[in-house]
Structures are given as C-alpha cells and as structure tokens.
Structure 1
C-alpha cells in the first residue's frame, strides 16, 4: 500500500537525504544516505526541519531510522572543511550548529512520541539525534562513540551534552567523552542511552510493540504528558549552556584551522 504524502510536502522526492513515509498515525523518517553512513550534512538538517516542522496532529508516533548498515556516522567532516574554506571564522559552522540545535529540539518537543530505531554505528551527531527521541531501541550489535575530542572538537552539537548527562549521569559521560572509546548496546542500555536492546531482525517488532499502546492513548492526555515530562526533565538541567553550542563549535574549529594553516 502506498503511504499518503505528508501534508505540506508534495512527495518525498523533494527530500534529498531522507525517506519519509506515513501509515495512518505513524510517520517513519529514515536517514537515507547509506553510501555515506547517513552522515549529517546541512542538506539533511534542512530536510529534517522540513519534516519535523510539518506537525500534523494526526501523527501520533514518529520513528527515526537509518537506511543501510549504520544508523548515522555523525557529522560530515568534509562539509566542515568546506565551511572553513568559505569562511575561516566559522560562520558556516555556526549556521549549521543552529540548525542542529533546532532539529534536536524539534525531535524532543514534537507532539508525537518519537522513537529512535538504531542499528550499526551511532557516532557523535548520530547519537545526538537518537538521544533527542523519547524512546530508543537498538540492535544488540549496535555500537556508539563520542569522538569529538580526538578530532579537536568540543562536544557541542545539537544540545547533546546536557541531554546525555541527564540520561546517563555526569561521571559516565565524562569518561566516555574524555576517552572517546566505543561502547556497545548493552552498556548503552545500562546508561539509559537505550531503553531496549533486541536482535537486529527484531527491531521493527520492538518499535511496533512501543507504538501500539501509544496509539491507544487519548491524544490530548498524551500531548500534555509528554510536555510535562519534557518540562520536568529540562528543569533538572540547572545550567543548560547548550544554546552556545554553535558558537563554541565555530570558535574551536576556526582556531584549530588557523593553527594548522600557519604551521
């Protein structure tokens, strides 16, 4: 059966990096650049904003998935270099960072319940996208990593750091960021980065098992409850400075680029 087009989006041919399809009240948004590991680019951020800003109240569940072997290999470093070529002060990176923050906030605040379906690798920005969702299920073979520090970058993308500390705890997050080591699905489950781990072939069944009871809940109560949960979670982030993420990323990358250039 062909899924109906999204309201406001004539068809998913206008989405360059995503595949979006809807079945009744369930909207699936798939990162769809598998040949590049679904790396996050400005084009992908624009596509995600186009879909997430189109808030049809009939959509009750939004599933975020990744095509191919990996969920998302993080930000596109080649595009970072292009931004610096055009503006060594980091202006392009700053604009991209603002988009990233908007995308992650839109996933968190979306009136639908958002579910991340994670397979393969979820690295850096990919982990941030998954973490912005309400519910997160991963394949038992999934792996995760925060490599920013090893790349000379701050962990400042999409408001990742306060969300990660809120979910996993400051001590664990400190170790993961400073070492940059990979960790598996079972460790992610223990840290509440994932809420469920299943064999990869059971991912769709696990998503369905979450979606079915959500769809039976009265829509007004569900929206209010999600808003309350988000508000209470946000209130525990006593000093959420992630609004400065784009500025921090631009400043550090620009300085690093300048240092390498003059050597």
Structure 2
C-alpha cells in the first residue's frame, strides 16, 4: 500500500451516541440519536469532548464536518436525561455530582471549538438551545433554508448554558443575543444569515453537496495560514 493510500484510509471510532470518521484531511462527526432528534445528554457531551481529542490526534486532518442524523441537527438538551431536566434533578444524585455533570456541556463546547481542524456545521431541521450552541462553536455554518432555530431555555426556567451567551454575543452582538434568548422566539435560516450567524443558506437537497464542496475548497488551501486564521479569529472574538 502506498503512503498516499495509507494516509487516505478511513478510520472510525466507536461511540454510543455519535459517529466519527477520518479519511485523510477530512473528518466527520455525526450526532447519532435520531430517535430523540439528536437531543443531548451527559453521554453525548462526554463523547463529544472525547471525539475532539481523537480528531486532534490525526495530524493530517484539516476539516471536520459536524452534522446530525435523521430529521434534525440537534433538539438541544434532552430534558428526560440531562442535568437540566427534572428527571435528573430528582435522581437522588448529590449536588456535587450534579454540578460536575453540569460542566460537561461547557467542556464539550470548548473542546470542539478549540480543535485544530476547521469545523463546518451542516445544519438541517432544527437547531434548538444547546444545539444552537453546538452550531456556534463551529468555525463555519451552512444551513438548509427550512431550518428552524430557537433558544427555549428561559421559557422552561433555565439559563442558556455551555458558554452560549458569550458565544452568541461574539457572533451576532449583545442586542440580538438578548432578544433571542429572552424572547425564546423562533427564527429562520434566512434571518440567521442576515444577522451574521450563518455563512450560507441553501436548498435542503443541496446542503450536503454545498458543505462537501466548502470542505474541499478549504482542504485545498495552504494549511498553516488556514489554521492561523482560525486561531486569530478565536483570539479576537474571545
């Protein structure tokens, strides 16, 4: 086997709630709880952080596409199985344990954001609450034109966690962040692009091909200035 074909061999790692693979310079991370619209629980968050470390171990990796299986990108925190949900609060676990689990979201978001590879969010269906935060941690964002976004945390009596407020402030500004978080209103992909949150909005049938082409365009660029640009953008916006 040649060095080139060896480098392009597909590698995967087994997780319970996500799928990950690397093929040469391109990686893919798929939220894989379609029966729950990819709602996020403690296991998902732990696995996202571990996946970020796994991706970083691949030195030739340049771009990672983040997407969701099934009908939605991510329906946010799974209130039936989440530190934010009533079931978890009534589980009998100690306050210290619950506080520790409550940090999983921030750690996962930080780990994804700080990966060396450039990340592209491929968003469809719904991106809700924590799912919108996961979109925000990606470097670039492409959404299907019928995607629905909203942040329902205030309506259900919770603050937006996982570093969501500062991340949204840096992307769309404080006024729009406060409006969307406080009102919990739904907004469209077109509005999300107009406020600067999305890079591109495309027809649902074109979403995958658009993201694949964007990934290919980035992979074709010189690697060092690409990574330095990502680092500078994060430093500027932090």
User: Where does residue 72 of structure 2 map in the other structure?
Assistant: 70
Q: Is it true that 1:122 corresponds to 2:127 in the alignment? A: yes
1:212 deviates by 1.7
Aligned residues: 226
1:89 deviates by 6.3
Measure, in 2, the Cα distance between the counterparts of 1:160 and 1:106. 14
User: What are the equivalent positions in structure 2 for 1:41-190 lying under 5 Å apart?
Assistant: 41-54=41-54, 55=56, 56-79=58-81, 80-87=85-92, 90-155=95-160, 157-190=161-194
1:37 deviates by 0.7
3-state secondary structure, aligned to 2:67 = strand
| TM-score where L is the length of structure 1 | 0.81
**Are residues 116 and 201 of structure 1, via their aligned partners in 2, closer, same or farther at CA, if it must alter by over 3 Å?**
same
User: What are the equivalent positions in structure 2 for 1:209-228 lying under 5 Å apart?
Assistant: 209-228=213-232
1:86 deviates by 3.2
| TM-score where L is the length of structure 2 | 0.89
1:133 deviates by 0.2
Which structure ranks higher in relative contact order (CA pairs < 8 Å, sequence separation ≥ 6)? 1
Measure, in 1, the Cα distance between the counterparts of 2:19 and 2:112. 16
Q: Say whether the 8 Å CA contact 1:74–1:122 is kept in structure 2.
A: yes
1:175 deviates by 1.4
Measure, in 2, the Cα distance between the counterparts of 1:94 and 1:75. 16
Unaligned runs of 5+ in 1: 235-263
RMSD over aligned Cα atoms? 1.7
Measure, in 2, the Cα distance between the counterparts of 1:184 and 1:95. 34
Q: Which runs of 4+ in 1 moved over 3 A?
A: 86-93
Q: Is it true that 1:27 corresponds to 2:27 in the alignment? A: yes
Cα deviation per residue 1:150-173 (whole Å; 9 max; x = unaligned)?
000012x21111110111111112
**Are residues 76 and 225 of structure 1, via their aligned partners in 2, closer, same or farther at CA, if it must alter by over 3 Å?**
same
Q: Say whether the 8 Å CA contact 2:49–2:112 is kept in structure 1.
A: no
